[in-house]
Amino acid sequence: MDTILKWLNRRLETVLCLFMAGLVALAFIQVVLRYAFNTSFFWAEEVILFAFTWVIFLAATVNLERGAHFGVDVLVNTLPRIGRRLIQGLMQLGIGAVLCVFVWVGFRFAVGAWVQESDILRVPKTVLYISLPLAACLMLLVVVRNLFSLVHGQSLKAEAEEL
């Protein structure tokens, strides 16, 4: 499972880089067109909104896999190894519970939004809203892998750089 997650993470990083490059390029073009030529692409703001939403949720998945999310672990680090693993397991269970709610509510919301169209592009708003439950499903894979590692006596990956 770890190999699959690493492969998926590399693909997500590539997609995120492409989305971000497109976002920056489109936003730059929009600014130049607005201020230099007093015109703009009518669809650009909506495309940027959709792409930025997808970037946020996919980046959260990459950061969870890397262990790069913010956490306060001063007390946890004072515990013996078994205590740290127990707390980490409880944290993973809590994260998993929240992600299950995101999947459930997010899918219901996205399916309900199928009949709504975006203002400019006229695509179903599901295209925007499905990003949350999809990212939550991907994050659940990471949580399952983390729980599997903890149950088998392995510690979680080293945290991201210390501040």
Instruction: Count Cβ atoms within 10 A of the Cβ of residue 127 and give its class: 0-12 exposed, 13-18 middle, 19 or more buried.
Output: middle
The confidence band for 157, taking pLDDT boundaries of 50, 70 and 90, is: low
pTM, 2 dp: 0.85
**Which residues are CB-neighbours of 60 under 8 A, at least 6 positions away?**
69, 135, 139
Cα 7 from Cα 154, distance rounded (Å): 21
Tens-digit pLDDT profile for residues 56-82: 999 999 999 888 777 777 888 888 888
Tens-digit pLDDT profile for residues 108-136: 999 999 999 999 999 999 999 999 999 99
Instruction: Count Cβ atoms within 10 A of the Cβ of residue 90 and give its class: 0-12 exposed, 13-18 middle, 19 or more buried.
Output: exposed
pLDDT for position 161: 46
Average pLDDT of span 77-101: 91
Amino acid at 109: F
